[in-house]
Structure 1
Amino acid sequence: MTRIKFRVNKNKENQYIEIDNESKDYKYYQIQKILVFDKDWKKAKGEYPEKFESHKFKLKSDKMLPLWLRICLEKKDSEIKGYAKKRYYYLYLHCQDKAISVVTNAKPKMKSGYIKTNAEKSAWCDSIWRENDSTLLDKYNDILRFYLIYYPSKEERTLSKQFTDIYSLWGDNCFSNNKEQLKAKLSMYKVKGIMDKTGGIANSADDMKHRIENFDLLMLRKNELASISKENRIVLVDTEENQYLSLFRHLRNSIAHGTFLIYKHDFVDCFIFQDSLRKNVTARGIVDMSTLEKWRDIILSKA
């Protein structure tokens, strides 16, 4: 989750890029190292040439722009629990309307291409969504209702008045690395692409193409369901700056729009789903229903 952002601070003599003191976790971290990358963070070129302080660094001239930087932050106090020792942020600095703009990302923002919902060679055929068996829908009615109506969210981003307020239940640090916190408990049930380094998380819809290809989620038609791999795997756009909250939002949307299928595959009930925005795929995945049940039970265990 991008709980720290950067901003421009300009005075008469100098201009700085600094940690935004309105960021949720800004007081716990300080700058340790700054690396300069070539375009789109493909390769590191070296360390940032200007000196930096604990919370800011100097931008000597606008002529340095555009810049692609990776900022390493370290925790100020090692005794503080619930926060990672280090965090990495990817900054894109450029001029926009004669002013300096700073874009903060938790991951490098790439552009491998869109996947269109109606593209001939990359579509999941709409007919598969109409293959839902009424018996399976009835069996998992409570799970579907939870992820549709009571889906986990944060208050300022919810799509449902009856959402599950994740931070009220689990506290502000529920997505820290503490093994007693929510993230660790959800991560016990592994899904490729979520909270790992397999490349399932995109910053935007225009970087979904190679991820969907790599996860074998490119094509799916009615007559191919029996041969599809039942491995739990998900590719999604991180709309909430938090992988689990983004996943829950995409699950909610897929149920609301009917772009899901509960499919019995080798005695395993699988949830196959897709979310999209303006005909661009923003999430695709396959996850067994037992994992969705376990996640729900973990989340509500604090209720």
Structure 2
Amino acid sequence: MNKKLKAASSNKSLYWSAAAVGDMEQALRNADLFDCAGIESKPFESAVFYDAKSNQTISLFYHLRNGFAHGRFCAFKSKGDIWFAIEDVAGKRKDDPAGDIKRLTARILIKNSTLCKWMKLIKAGPDIR
């Protein structure tokens, strides 16, 4: 499924996974999504996320769900498609030196058409041979 999802996007290097929340900054820089100012002018789909579920595909959907469910997204038109810029954050932990600051766990830039392709792939089920 992972390969099919990547193939359905316009960026075959779609995922930038961080093994720990502390690795997010470098993953965001590697994917050119660290600075989200002017994100609507970014020319590519990309998903940077903390691999919270030890499975990139499940983690990606976990963060997509959270971003939409908690209203941490914006939609815009570009290049003939509707795009979504989505973020997910983790709440503070007890004894966290960062205080009340929430930590970014995902930043995703994706086209609506890609999300629709993914829904079709998932609904079609596995290709068992």
| TM-score > 0.5, shorter chain as reference | yes
Q: 1:298 aligns with which of 98, 121, 126?
A: 121
What amino acid sits opposite 1:216 in the alignment? Answer: D
Query: Alpha-carbon deviations, 1:186-221, whole Å to 9, x = none?
Result: 232244342xxxxx1111111111111122212224
Return the index of the structure with the highest Cα Rg: 1
User: CA, structure 1 residues 184+209, in 2 after alignment: closer, same or farther (shift >3 Å)?
Assistant: closer
Tell me, which stretches of 5 or more residues in structure 2 are unaligned?
Answer: 92-101
8 A contact 2:85–2:109 mirrored in 1: yes
1:302 is displaced (CA, Å) by 3.0
Please report the TM-score for the alignment, with normalisation by the length of structure 1. Answer: 0.35
Partner SS, residue 281 of structure 1 = strand
Q: Structure 2 length normalisation: TM-score?
A: 0.79
**Aligned to 1:230, which of 35, 40, 43?**
43
| Percent of matched pairs sharing the same residue | 32
Equivalent residue number for residue 184 of structure 1: 3
- The structure in which a higher percent of residues are helix is 2
Q: Which residue of 2 is the match for residue 257 of structure 1?
A: 70
After superposition, residues 1-303 of structure 1 pair within 5 angstroms as: 182-190=1-9, 191=11, 192-194=13-15, 200-221=16-37, 224-226=38-40, 228-278=41-91, 279-302=102-125
What does the per-residue CA deviation read over 1:145-204, in whole Å, with 9 as the maximum and x for residues that have no partner? Answer: xxxxxxxxxxxxxxxxxxxxxxxxxxxxxxxxxxxxx3332232244342xxxxx11111
Alpha-carbon RMSD across the aligned residues, in angstroms, is 1.8
Amino acid at match of 1:201: S
The aligned length equals 114
Contact 2:39 2:85 in 1 (8 A): no
Moved over 4 A (4+): none
Determine if contact 1:230/1:265 at 8 Å carries over to the other structure.
no
- Structure 1: runs of 5 or more not aligned: 1-181, 195-199
